[in-house]
Structures are given as C-alpha cells and as structure tokens.
Structure 1
Amino acid sequence: MKLFKILLLFIALSTFGCAEKENPSFTKEELVLIPQPKSLNLNQGSFEVTNSTKIIIAQDSLASVSSILNDLFKRAAGFELETSIDAHAENNIQLKINSEIAKEAYELKVTSENVILEANSKLGFVYGMETIRQLLPKEIESGSKVSDIEWYIPNVEITDAPQYSYRGNMLDVSRHFFGKEYIKKHIDRLAFLKLNTFHFHLVDDQGWRIEIKKYPKLTEVGGFRVDQEDSHWNARTKNEPDAKATFGGFYTQEDIKEIVAYAQERGIRVIPEIEMPAHVMSAIASYPWLSCTGEPIAVPSGGVWPITDIYCAGKESTFEFLEDVLSEVMQLFPGEYIHVGGDEATKTNWKTCPDCQRRIKEEGLADEDELQSYFMKRIEKFLNKNDRTLIGWDEILEGGLPEEATVMSWRGFEGGWEASAAGHDVIMTPTSHLYFDYYQGSPDNEPVAFNAFTPLKRVYEFRPVLDSMSVKQKKHVLGGQANLWAEYVPTEAHSEYMLFPRLAALAEVVWSPENKLDWEDFSVRIRKMMERFEVMGINYAKSAYAVQPESDIDLETGEITIKLKSEFPNTEIRYALNGEELNAESNLYENEIKVDTDTQLKAAVFKNGKVMGAVLDKTFKFHKAVAKPVIYKYPYNQNYASSGETALVNVLKGSKYFKDGRWQGWINNPAIITIDLEKETSVSEVIVGSLEEQGTGIYFPQQLKVEVSKDGKNFKEVASLKRDYQTNPGAKIDNFKMGFELQENIRFVRVSVEPLAKTPNGGGAWLFLDEIQIK
C-alpha cells in the first residue's frame, strides 16, 4: 500500500511538471497605449515572445517592418526573431494582408498561441507593430540586455485607424543645427506615437542647412554664422559680412537621402521647407544679388525683426535661382508636398525697388501684397508642373491664394477657416496650442523659452476642426502639426525636453476618435508612459507635475488663502512652511492654506516618496501697505490690470511670465502711485517689484522716487534711485529697494516710477510692477 501511494505521488508530480505554464493576465490599467486605439478588448492570458518566436510576413516587402521589433529585442533581450514567409501554427507574430482594411488601419489579435496583425498597407503594419511595441514591457526600450524578465504581450483584440491623415511635427534646424543621427532618432519617436509627417525646416535667416550643388555658397557661407551662443537670442549683435563664421552645419545630399529613406521605412513622410520670399538672409549672405539692393550682408546670429532682407520679386534671376534650388530639392524628397514658407515678409525694399515696381506695373498688380501672391503663384505653377503641391504658412492668403495650395494655419485657426471655405486643404498648427517653443510650466522653473505658455493640457485640448465649419470645410482639414522653433533650443536634450510629453498629447488628439479623448484618462497613461520615455533615454519635461499656486487676499482681514494644484489631476502634494524640510513626511495638502504673516511655502508633487517636477518655493511678505487704498495718477493699461486697484498692495507677486495676471503695466506714462496707510505710521523703506523682458518691450525703470506726507497734500522726497540701461536678454524680476531715515507719523506714501525713456530700437517702453512694499 505504501509503495502504491508513492507511485501515485510520482505520477501526480510528473503530470504537474509536464503541464503547460499559464501565461499571466493583465488589467486594463496596465495597458499604456498612446494614442488610444479606436477599439480595444482585453482578454485573459498573454503571449510570450521567446528566442524561438518567429515573425511570419505575407511578402518580402514587409521584411523591413519586422525590424521595428527585432532592433528592440536584439538590444534588450539579446536575441533576434527569425523572419519567414512560411506560416507556423503557433508561437509566431503573423503579418497578414487584408484588402478590406483601410490604408492606415490595422487589426491586432493576440492570443496565448500567436499574434495576428492584419493590414492593407505597409503603413498599417508599421502602426500595428508600434502598438505591439507599446504592449511589451517598457524594458524592451533598453539600450542594453535586460536580465530576469519575460516578454509578455497581453491578449487583446484591437481595431484601429487614424482620425486625420496629416499628423505632423516640425523641427527648426536653421536656428540651431541638429545632426543626422538625432533626426533619425526623432523620426523613430514620431513613428512610436503614430505620427506620420516630419516637417523639415531647412532654411531660415540664421542658417541654410541643405546642400545645393549648383549653388555651393548656400552651405559654405549660409550654413554658418558668427558664434554668439553665449548671449541671449535677442541680445546678439549684427554681424559684418566679413566676420569669421564658425557656428552651424548642414546636411549633404547623401545625408538627406539617408534620412528620407530611414523615414520611409518607418511610415514617416518628410516635407522639406525652403523659405521664401522672407527668412532667407542666409541665402542673400551667400548670393547678395538675390536681394533688391544687392548689398552684402552676414548671416545673423540671433533675432531679426522686421525681416526686410528678402528675395527680390522683380528680377527673373531670383526665380531662376529658386527653380534650380527646388529642382534639386525635389530630387531628394519624393513626397507630394514642398513647403515654401511665405510668412513674415516685410516688403519695405519692394516698395522702393525699381525691379519690383516694374513687375507690379507689368503684371497689373495692385500692391506689394499682390506681388507676394504673384511670387507664390509662380512658384506653385513650377511645383505643380513637377507633380508637387505647395504648402505655405497662412500669410500666403494675403493678396490672393495660389490655386492648389495647402495652407498651414499658425496665427490661430482663422487662416485655416478662410482657406477651407475657399476650397483649400488645411493643416492646423495654431500658436495657441501647438507651438512647442513656448513655456510648458512656470518660467521661474523652466529653461529659457519664447515668452508664451503652452502646457500639456492645452495641447490635449486642441481639435483640428471648428464647430463653425461646414461639413465641406471640415473635409478640407487634413490634421494638425506641432512646431518646435529653435531660437531658444541649442541642444538635442533641450529639444527633447520641449517635445515630450507634449508630442504624445498631440499624437492622441490627431489619431484617436474624439469620443475617446479624455484628459483625466490620458493624464494617467502619460504618467506611466513617462516611465517608458526614461528607458528610451528621452529627456522629457516633468512640468505638468509642478505645483501651481493660486492665492487670494481678503482685503478686510489681510489674510491670504493659498490653493495648490498640479496640471495632472489627483496628485499627492506635500508642503512645508517657514524653513521646514520638504519631504515625503511633510504636510499632505488637502485643504487651502491661510496665512497672515510673513510665510515661506515649499510644495511639490510626490510619487512613491519621490519629488516629481519642480519644487515650489514662494515667500509671502506682509508689510504696512497691505490692503491699503491706492490712488493712481495715470491708469494702468487695461490689458495688464492684474487684480485692479489693490494689486500693488496684495502681497501676491508675479512670475517671469508677464501674462500671469499678477503684473500691472504702463506704456507711455510713468507709474505714480499714492498709498494711504489710513493711520499715522513710521516708515523707513519702500521696495518696488518690477519685471524686465526686453524681447517683448518690457524694461526696468530708469528712475524711482519716494515721497511721504502726513496730510496727503504736502509731500517730502525721502529717497530716489537712478539706474542706467543694461542689456538684459532674458526675463528677470528685480526688487528695487529704497531705504531712508525713519519717518514718523506718516500716512501717505507716493512712489513715482519712471519708465525707460527710449528703448534701443526707439519708441516707448512698457513698465511692469507687481508689488510696492512699505516697511
């Protein structure tokens, strides 16, 4: 009997040992897909990828698609999946052609036995493979072999297709040049997010980046500028034509061919932009005869405004040059579109140029705007003759739109609305939502950027079509595009920081059905996707984690109420007061904070005991003028009114972002403010908070004066401060302190703040103040 029991136990153990291992199941919360698929069903179980798994392709032309996964597995898993056209029953990833599926669509079915991906085009297979990639553990993105991990793909059924045919991103490589390898890396990331268009901004005033063999000086001269990288973009001086130019770079035609081929393998079309008639100082520096004056100029190292050195529209040689250039460009870029710019042309020289005026007369044009229209229509005819479609920024609407042009609407949505109403295709790329050179968090914590604000949530709120459009108009909206201009983006790491995670938000908006778009759901997924970005080595921004304070003062009690939030909902915010250490054990923010004395506040979002994003460090300084009546001799500008007549005595300070609602502004007048302390008081110091942002016309004051009075009629000057103009290229806040001998029994304090009399460019200066402290 004992022997029989032992035999039974042996049989049971043998049977158990031979049983198939059951693959794990996943929850919906564990699936981190961006963009969100059109439909997704999650089933029990998963498929394991091992070194014996094969990729089965329907035809040899799909072999390159297998590299999307194979390149990852080679690095992270240490093995490569065999690719074959011979089907096997199980343990494979099959790519099947399904002629019933739309061009960019795909269907994916994962079971524990195999993975079946169906599509009707190479694009569909690329997108399906990128979905499989996102379903794999994030460690698949590792640049080196990962041990002790199993490569499971959750069992899912996905049907997916994009909402818009144009899903793009523009990189400006003129203002700062980025090498070929970074461009290829960026193309990989576009494909990862199912974006399908790379807009290559190759030409601008500050650099010509594409080799044109017939005109070698375009890169020899136009590809380089004087190195002034140690100065802010808008503080750089004008270069002389013979100055030594060493900063820059360009792509050879072989580089361009390699980039375009690389993109094609990943389902990305590349659209070159060859600017005209403006943003071409790099070309004119190379060949001065392209301008109206023919005078030598240098490639500028920084900002130029207005842009008056533009191509001459009157000379035939200009059009011969452009046709030669475009002919070489079209040989390198086989796609349908050529972008020709058309924006921000200041036509000052055209008005005095005899060649341009003769052209206007001969062509029967009304003015210089129509001359630009003539210019663009002529270029369009040349492109059309070569089976290409012209794209231009929305300024090409001025003076008359080329017949078959596609409009890229950047100055809001209005240009897109107008062009679609006229029957033209439109790509929406409004500054309000899709300019990624703008700040994504408080300028107090962010690297220097263009002084405007595009946070992650605003990108996600973008919708390419407008409710006011007709059904016919909406059909002309091809999609959307994010633009990263590079004036303030000198490095690849900085470029990544400005692009991610905002590019993921755009990707979902232009791919996923509108009824699938939900900010709270996206905010959960993008936080998990950031973990994958880390493994991918992307220097993404954590700005959406930053604590955003909202504060109000009760003018009756002088008490300040502080509310804390982050852009991401449902985050763990902790705070510390008055020098306490901020850590994972600090006060959990649950209710608003109230203060009525000098208070230092530190706060941050925490996750798993770690600080996420920037730490808020803000001090609220109470003083003798808090909530007291204020009399203005000259009214503040209504566009910059802050909170009104008590804004300068409410303790609430402004940030470096001049539109944050905390700054009061004056133009063409000084700020002369009288504060009634309401009772006799001893005073010995006045501090005036001011902002300077010279690039937007805001300057520190040149003179300040303090006067005091007991009766509000007879004032005595007790302090003054003069300062000379200084070049200050970035946004800067300063507190101008004026101390003086103790003045007793004072009730009224008058502060006079004189703006800079004349800016370096001439004209008046804005004066911005946020608080007047009296001590």
Structure 2
Amino acid sequence: MKTNQPKAGIMLLIAMSIALFSCNTNNTSSVSKEDIALIPQPNSVVMNKGGFVLNKNTQWVVSKHLSEQNLYLEIKEKIQNSNAVLADVKEVSEGNYIVFVLNKSLDPEAYVLEVLEDKITVEAASKLGFSHAQQTLKQVIGKEYFTSSSQEFTIPLVRIEDKPRYQWRGVMLDVSRHFFDKSYLLKTIDRLAFLKMNTLHLHLVDDQGWRMEIKQYPRLTAVGGYRVDQEEKHWNARTPNSPTDKATFGGFYTQEELKEVVAYAAKYGIQVIPEIEMPAHVMSAIAAYPELACFDQEIGVPSGGVWPITDIYCAGKESTFEFLENVLTEVMTVFPSKYIHIGGDEATKTNWAKCPHCRKRIAEEGLQDVAELQSYFIKRIETFLDSKAKTLIGWDEILEGGLAPKATVMSWRGIQGGWEASKQGHDVIMTPESHVYLNFYQGDQDREPQAFGGYTPLEKVYDFDPVVDSMSVEQKKHVLGAQGNLWSEYIETEAISEYMLYPRLVALSEALWSSGKQKNYVAFTSRLVPLLESLDAMGINYAESVYNVSASTETDFESKSINIDLKTDFPEATIYYALGNEALTESSKVYDSTLHFKASDSLKAVVFVDGKKKGVALKTYIDFHKGFGSKLAMSPNPHKNYQGEGASTLMDIRKGSKNFGDGKWLGWYNKEVTLTMELPIAENISSVVVNALENQGADIYFPNKIQVSTSMDGVHFTKKVSVERPEVANGDAAIEGFKLAFEPHEAKIIKIEISPIKKSSKGRGTFIFVDEILVK
C-alpha cells in the first residue's frame, strides 16, 4: 500500500514552489528549464537568483522601429500602467523598465526574454514573437496574474530563448452546427494567444447553418442561418424539414462583427481563416437559393445529421461559379488572411451523374467522370482565389480527381492525404481525426458530455507529431503544422465547447511548439497542474477527465470472483477508494494493487489534489446475482460486429458503458431475440433485470417489448411478466435496467424474449443492445 504523500500532491508542491519563487528573491540559486512550469516548454531556460518588480512605476519602452506595428502591450494594460511608451531606450531613467527590441535576425515567431533585476528585455522579429514573450511572462506570474487585485508582481530572473517547431498551430471552431456569439470567439483568441497558438479556423458554412452575412445574397443568413428546433432529439435521429417549416434556431455574424474578431486576433498576430464549404455541406445555401442545386430542388435547412450528402452545388451551371466568386469576394473583404478554406469534403455526386448541366460540363471539358468534375470545380475556384493573391485550403478529398496546382491540403482522414499531397509538392496541415479531433471523448463516456464518438485522451493529443518517419526530407518541409478540430454537432453551449477544448488544446500547443527531444508526457503533466490553476482563474470550464479513475474488470468464473484494476490517465496520481457505505475522503484507502470481490459490494474511487477532489468520482456496484455464470443460449446469434465475448457477456457482472463499441454489448439488428438462461441450480427467483443501451443516432433503441417466462425442465414454460416501451425521443446515449418483477417461485430455466422497434420515427430499422441480465 502507498502510505507516502500522494505523487500528484508532490507535483503540486513542486509547482507551488516555482510560483513562490516568483515572489521570493532570496532562496533560489540556479534552476534548470525542466523545473519552470511553462507550457509549451521553451527551447532554452536559464534561471538565476533574484527578481524584477513589475508595477505601475515600470517604464515601457518600444524601439522606434516597432512603432508602426502597433505592438499590443497586454501586461501594461492589465496593471493599468500609465507610463508613456517611449521611442528610445536612451530616454529611460535607470532601473525598472521593460524594453521591446526589434531583432530581424530571429525567426518570425522566435523571441528572447531576459529578466534582470533592473530591466526586462524582449527581442523578437514580429508582433507574434513579442506576444509570445508576454504570454511567457504571464505564465511565470501564474494564476495571480488573473486573480490578484495587486498591481505588482515579482518576476524571477530568467533568460529564455524560444521559437516554435511548426508554423501552423491552431484550432478549428465549427460555428455552423451550433452557433456561438462573437464574445466567445474573442475569448478563444485570448486563450490561443496564452498557449502561443497562431491560427483560428472558423467553419462558417455547413448543411445546418450559414453563419456569415453576405450582403449580395441576404437569404443566405435570413433563411440559411436558421433551422427548425429539434434539439431534444439525437443529432442523427432528427427528421427532415420542409422549406415551409418555422425555423427559429440559429444565428449569424455580421461582417462588422467578423471584422472585429479579425482585428482583435491581429493584436496578438493571430490569423483567422474562414471556411466557406463547397461543393457539399451547403444545404443551408441551397435552402436559400434552390437554383444553386442541379435540379433547383427546394429543401429545408437540416436540423441534424445528413448522410449521404447529395444536395450539393451544381458544377455544370455557370451561375454557380458566379455566385461563389461573389461570395468569396465579400469574404476576402472581411478576412485579410493569406488562406481561404473551401472544404471540398464528403460530396456524394449522384446528382451530378444525372444532371444535364453537369454531364454537358464533363463533355465540354474532356473530363472522365464526376470525380474529375469535382477536381475541375476546385481548380476553378483556386484559379479565382489565386487571382486575388489567396491560397486555397481544402480537406484531403480535394486530392480526388487531381489536386489543384497551388492548393494546401488539410489532412483529416488519417495522415495519408497529407503524405500524398506533400509528395506532390503541396503544403500540408495535419488534422487527423485519430489524434486531434477534439469532438471525440477524452474520458469514460459514462461520465462525459455527449460527444461525436471515438476516444482521444490527453496523452494521445500530446504524443501527436504532424511529421511521420516515412516522409522524405522534402516532404517534411511541406508540413506547415497542425490544428485541433472541434466539430459542434454535440457542442450546444460555450461551457461544453471549453470542456472539449481544454486541456487537450494545452497538450497540442506543446506538441506543436516544443522540439521532439523535449517532449515528455510525465514532465508535461507536472507543469500542467499549475497551468490548470490559471485556466481556473481565467474562468475556463476545462475537463478534469484526465484525473478520472477508470476500472478494468476481469471475471473469474472458476473461483466465482471479480478482479478490478483502477487507473487514471494522469501519471503518478494517487487513487483513493472506498467500499460499501464508507465515505470517500482523502483519508480513504490508497489503491496500490488489484481489488478482489467474491460478494456484492459498491466501489467508489477518486483522485485528490491539494485536498480537492479532481474529476468525476468512479461509482460502481458489483452485483453477484443468481444468474452469474449460468449457461445461456441465444437465438438468433448477435450481429457480427456486436458479439461481445459471446453468451457469457450477459451474465459475467461486467457492465457495458454508453460506448456501444466497448466490446461488452451484444447487438441484434431488427431481430426478435430469445435468450434462454439455465441456472446452475433451481433457485427461488422474483425478478429479472435486462440492461439495455440506447443511442438513437446509431439506430440503437431500447426494446419495444420484453417478456419473461420460466420453467423447471426447459420444455414447459410459464409466462410470468412482460413490459412494453414505445419509442421516446432521446438526444443522448442512455443505459436502462428494465426490471421485470413477478411472484417469487422456484425455477431452473429462464426465457427472455426481446422485441425491437421495427421502424424508428426516422423510417429505419433498429438495433437492440443488451448486456448484463440479472436474476434476483
């Protein structure tokens, strides 16, 4: 058993000692870069004894060569320093000043920060470099920068030489599926700057909403900006809307609002990249202007998921390109960025294959098929953007049919698209869903907000590298960097958005900034502890999922026991646990080895840091019921993709989670199911509980009917009870134990008949998912 101070607590003490050092100039000599709690980890850090006092009397000095850059002196603004920004360091009186010096020999985002007792010197070649240096100062000050009413801070003496590994370090916010106010975009920019990230990618257009005002086409926002409110339903279980249905859910940004966002980002040197989807993911535009589609079809803006995406822009009509060029022209007046993202993904081209306009275009241009027609579409848009000195970015589908000559590829379906594009000499931004899709779960699904699916924990994000070993030296030069993507199908509020972004975006910031040799996940988490305190002080609703305790369970049928191992994704954290009715406190037992159970019991487990519970406590009940270890026959057999561990899955006491792919569920599609359980001996029983899962977006519904019959000989059965449940709209995954109680009696064989909902309200067949069947 561990009896010493918890290691997570030790990490906090280390971090606190660093913070204390910033206020105490007499007890520290030289500290290595590994000991300073900065994220991302700088390239070079040398610390020395002593400190610099930053206060209202500090003079701020900007070299005359920087005056035209409108350098944003954020910390000066924070401490309400009224001293004038002088044009020449020679004009400064001795002591207590900060000087910003232009050093064009440095890389574009590099900076040198040196803190001496009488002055701070910041050298950089660009606004971004100066911004990064100020963010480093904020992190050195720590949470007090955000919480203290004091306007005086003591900064340790330090010299930092730093620059990023990759030039593209960003995040994509999908504001189309769910709309977020301008104020949230501004807060996001603050946080990107804090983490030394430099790109905000706004996904402004998708099937479910058009979010940018286009003055020449007002119906894009008046019609395309709103949809019928079906938020109570699962995203993928929402029904199609008619063009005449009342649409009230949505919103959009005016061009003036977006200009404000762009200008605010520019203060930090951050670029804002607009994404205007084409040729697919544009049902919101077609709802507004049906003539943009192949057959002028009138549609409503979808309220939820659409697949396949067949309502797309017509590539054969010349008016389509006139529309898009007009739209993009207005976009460029708002977004001065070098790049314009045009999507290009997931276009189902069945309408193109039938459309006379598209077929004519294919013939006239000498194209082979609709794949080459999409290539023609993208290349034509690229030619237009190139004429405006803009660079086209598209998702990796733009490779299909031939890549546009100057396009940059954003590779999301793994790294292969990026590999191919870099091989062809194109720049690449890596965004593989396997590592940087932040709409995926980051912890135990049962204790997390609803997410798109998948599993991307903190460590997986941290381990990501946009460059792969199989790339040549030339290919690697084309990898600009990477970004995290937060698709918002299930991101309904700012709080949930923050929860999904942080701290995974913190991990990504270091993965993209620091050199590969510096990366060490355990060391990163030790620095993460004090940085999370700053996120607290900033009012960010970050996820503590990394602290959550998870349990892996093993059934030993021979010894009739259950073995449980506990872990957390936070290295070195100490887990406390309690059994039965014991309270879970910092004085509870400390987990150090496998727990063994031979009788029913409840288990609670959590991590404490500095006396505070972290994450959501694990709570589970180990239920040794009469059906444990029984023989069980199934008719028919489960679907080939959802067979769990066979029949034993239903009576091994290991319960499935809300993740239908966790291997602990048996699933049947549109089948009447009969389960026949033979108890080891005849037992006096009074109820059966059938645990079922519902995830309507995946066509998994609770059973429509369950019936229980019992027998002593397996031949003659007596019906005991049945329960029926109609379809009820459910926007989230859910687990329910359907209890069927009856008069106590002796039985040896139990037959459970389960019927599905034959057709859901969306007109599709349904799955039944069943796990543990408890016999009481």
SS in 2 for 1:65: coil
Alignment deviations for residues 251-287 of structure 1 (CA, whole Å, 9 cap, x no partner): 2222222221221220211111001111112211221
1:572 aligned to 574, 578, 581, which one? Answer: 574
Q: Which residue of 2 aligns with 1:71?
A: 77
- Equivalences for residues 466-615 of structure 1 within 5 A: 466-615=468-617
Query: Which amino acid is 2:774 matched to?
Result: Q
Q: Which residue of 1 aligns with 2:354?
A: 352
Going from structure 1 to structure 2, the CA distance change for 1:761 and 1:415 (only over 3 Å counts) comes to farther
Q: Which residue of 2 aligns with 1:9?
A: none
**8 Å contact 1:25–1:154 — kept in the other structure?**
no
- Equivalences for residues 370-409 of structure 1 within 5 A: 370-409=372-411
Cα distance in 2 between the residues matched to 1:397 and 1:388: 19
Going from structure 1 to structure 2, the CA distance change for 1:110 and 1:24 (only over 3 Å counts) comes to farther
Query: Which amino acid is 2:766 matched to?
Result: A
Going from structure 1 to structure 2, the CA distance change for 1:62 and 1:767 (only over 3 Å counts) comes to farther
1:130 aligned to 105, 129, 135, which one? Answer: 135
1:693 aligned to 681, 692, 695, which one? Answer: 695
Q: Which residue of 2 aligns with 1:140?
A: 145
Query: Could you tell me how far 1:232 is from its partner in structure 2?
Result: 4.1
Going from structure 1 to structure 2, the CA distance change for 1:61 and 1:329 (only over 3 Å counts) comes to same
2:53 aligned to 38, 48, 51, which one? Answer: 48
**8 Å contact 2:635–2:674 — kept in the other structure?**
yes
Q: Which residue of 1 aligns with 2:413?
A: 411
Q: Which residue of 2 aligns with 1:119?
A: 124
Alignment pair present for 1:157 and 2:159: yes
Cα distance in 2 between the residues matched to 1:646 and 1:298: 47
Alignment deviations for residues 73-115 of structure 1 (CA, whole Å, 9 cap, x no partner): 23xxxx4454222324532222222232212111222222221
**8 Å contact 1:680–1:745 — kept in the other structure?**
yes
Q: Which residue of 2 aligns with 1:369?
A: 371
Q: Which residue of 2 aligns with 1:3?
A: none
Cα distance in 1 between the residues matched to 2:527 and 2:382: 43
Q: Which residue of 1 aligns with 2:99?
A: 94
Query: Could you tell me how far 1:318 is from its partner in structure 2?
Result: 0.4
Query: Which amino acid is 1:400 matched to?
Result: G
SS in 1 for 2:446: coil
Cα distance in 2 between the residues matched to 1:471 and 1:624: 64
**8 Å contact 2:142–2:530 — kept in the other structure?**
no
Q: Which residue of 1 aligns with 2:443?
A: 441
SS in 1 for 2:330: helix
Query: Could you tell me how far 1:603 is from its partner in structure 2?
Result: 1.7
Alignment pair present for 1:766 and 2:758: no
Q: Which residue of 2 aligns with 1:12?
A: none
- Deviates most, 590-599 or 428-437: 590-599
Give the aligned CA root-mean-square deviation in angstroms. Answer: 2.3
Query: Which amino acid is 2:617 matched to?
Result: V
Alignment pair present for 1:294 and 2:293: no
Using CA pairs below 8 Å that are at least 6 residues apart, which structure has the higher relative contact order? 2
Q: Which residue of 2 aligns with 1:170?
A: 172
Going from structure 1 to structure 2, the CA distance change for 1:436 and 1:575 (only over 3 Å counts) comes to same
Query: Could you tell me how far 1:176 is from its partner in structure 2?
Result: 1.9
**8 Å contact 1:93–1:117 — kept in the other structure?**
yes
Unpaired stretches in structure 2, ≥5 consecutive residues: 1-23
- Deviates most, 54-63 or 92-101: 54-63
Q: Percent identity?
A: 52
Query: When the two structures are superposed, what TM-score results if normalisation uses the length of structure 2?
Result: 0.91
Cα distance in 2 between the residues matched to 1:651 and 1:618: 11
Query: Could you tell me how far 1:501 is from its partner in structure 2?
Result: 0.9
Query: Which amino acid is 1:749 matched to?
Result: I
Going from structure 1 to structure 2, the CA distance change for 1:47 and 1:512 (only over 3 Å counts) comes to same
Query: Could you tell me how far 1:383 is from its partner in structure 2?
Result: 1.0
- Deviates most, 426-435 or 488-497: 488-497
Query: Could you tell me how far 1:192 is from its partner in structure 2?
Result: 0.9
Cα distance in 1 between the residues matched to 2:293 and 2:758: 35
Going from structure 1 to structure 2, the CA distance change for 1:699 and 1:227 (only over 3 Å counts) comes to closer
Query: Could you tell me how far 1:374 is from its partner in structure 2?
Result: 1.4
Q: Which residue of 2 aligns with 1:103?
A: 108
SS in 2 for 1:574: strand
- Deviates most, 616-625 or 414-423: 414-423
Cα distance in 1 between the residues matched to 2:467 and 2:665: 34
**8 Å contact 2:577–2:590 — kept in the other structure?**
yes
Query: Which amino acid is 1:407 matched to?
Result: V
Query: Could you tell me how far 1:436 is from its partner in structure 2?
Result: 1.5
**8 Å contact 1:25–1:46 — kept in the other structure?**
no
Cα distance in 2 between the residues matched to 1:459 and 1:81: 43
Query: Which amino acid is 1:33 matched to?
Result: L
SS in 1 for 2:376: helix
- Equivalences for residues 718-757 of structure 1 within 5 A: 718-744=720-746, 746=748, 748-757=749-758
Going from structure 1 to structure 2, the CA distance change for 1:80 and 1:237 (only over 3 Å counts) comes to farther
Going from structure 1 to structure 2, the CA distance change for 1:444 and 1:417 (only over 3 Å counts) comes to same
Query: Which amino acid is 1:771 matched to?
Result: E
**8 Å contact 2:56–2:79 — kept in the other structure?**
no
Q: Which residue of 2 aligns with 1:252?
A: 254
Cα distance in 1 between the residues matched to 2:219 and 2:601: 61
Going from structure 1 to structure 2, the CA distance change for 1:233 and 1:764 (only over 3 Å counts) comes to closer
Going from structure 1 to structure 2, the CA distance change for 1:220 and 1:725 (only over 3 Å counts) comes to closer
Cα distance in 2 between the residues matched to 1:401 and 1:199: 22
Query: Could you tell me how far 1:339 is from its partner in structure 2?
Result: 0.3
Going from structure 1 to structure 2, the CA distance change for 1:665 and 1:231 (only over 3 Å counts) comes to closer
- Deviates most, 173-182 or 375-384: 173-182
- Deviates most, 348-357 or 264-273: 348-357
Cα distance in 2 between the residues matched to 1:504 and 1:773: 44
Q: Which residue of 2 aligns with 1:14?
A: none
Query: When the two structures are superposed, what TM-score results if normalisation uses the length of structure 1?
Result: 0.91
Cα distance in 2 between the residues matched to 1:460 and 1:103: 24
- Deviates most, 371-380 or 587-596: 587-596
Going from structure 1 to structure 2, the CA distance change for 1:369 and 1:287 (only over 3 Å counts) comes to same
Cα distance in 1 between the residues matched to 2:764 and 2:752: 24
2:240 aligned to 238, 255, 258, which one? Answer: 238
Cα distance in 2 between the residues matched to 1:291 and 1:219: 18
**8 Å contact 2:238–2:762 — kept in the other structure?**
no
**8 Å contact 2:578–2:604 — kept in the other structure?**
yes
Query: Could you tell me how far 1:396 is from its partner in structure 2?
Result: 1.4
Query: Could you tell me how far 1:321 is from its partner in structure 2?
Result: 0.3
**8 Å contact 2:55–2:79 — kept in the other structure?**
no
Query: Could you tell me how far 1:151 is from its partner in structure 2?
Result: 0.7
Q: Aligned residues, how many?
A: 747
Unpaired stretches in structure 1, ≥5 consecutive residues: 1-20
Cα distance in 1 between the residues matched to 2:309 and 2:436: 24
**8 Å contact 1:443–1:657 — kept in the other structure?**
yes
Going from structure 1 to structure 2, the CA distance change for 1:530 and 1:766 (only over 3 Å counts) comes to same
Going from structure 1 to structure 2, the CA distance change for 1:458 and 1:671 (only over 3 Å counts) comes to farther
- Deviates most, 112-121 or 265-274: 112-121
Q: Which residue of 2 aligns with 1:630?
A: 632
Cα distance in 1 between the residues matched to 2:644 and 2:473: 41
1:61 aligned to 40, 64, 67, which one? Answer: 67
Alignment deviations for residues 366-415 of structure 1 (CA, whole Å, 9 cap, x no partner): 22222211111111111112111111111212222222211111122222
